[in-house]
Amino acid sequence: MNVEETGNRTIITPDISQLDSLNSQEFSSTYAPLISSYSNIALDISKIGYIDSSGLGAILEIVRETHDRDAKICVFGAQPSVKVLFRMVQLEKLVPIFETKDQAVAWLAD
């Protein structure tokens, strides 16, 4: 995992290639406490090539907890297969999804 702090923005990059039923609970228990300590978060999922429903649930849990704290969170760097899943479940209605880090950081700055 990589955590990069830039001003009041934090970019978190999980170091996993898939987020599924085998590791979604570990993902939640690792990242939820970390994310709860920041208020402007960009989640870089560029290393994740596969997400199943359990993994999607883990991401949604983090998004919901962040929204409950009135903090900002966005996602960027989704690989093509992950983009398809996000479009199918209309994830962009709950969390902004960007192509690049620069776009995500600019949104957090607003």
pLDDT digits (tens, 9 = 90+) for 20-33: 999 999 998 888 88
Number of separate helices (H) and strands (E) present in the chain: 4, 7
Q: What CATH class has 2-105?
A: alpha beta
Q: Considering the chain, what is the average pLDDT of its residues?
A: 93
Of 52, 69, 50, 63, residue with least CA distance to 94: 63
Q: Given this model, what pLDDT does residue 31 score?
A: 84
Q: Distance between terminal CA atoms of the chain?
A: 26
Q: What is the DSSP letter of 93?
A: G
H or E stretch covering 63 = helix 53-68
Q: Given this model, what pLDDT does residue 104 score?
A: 96
Q: Where in the chain are the domains?
A: 2-105
Answer with the residue of higher pLDDT: 65 or 34: 65
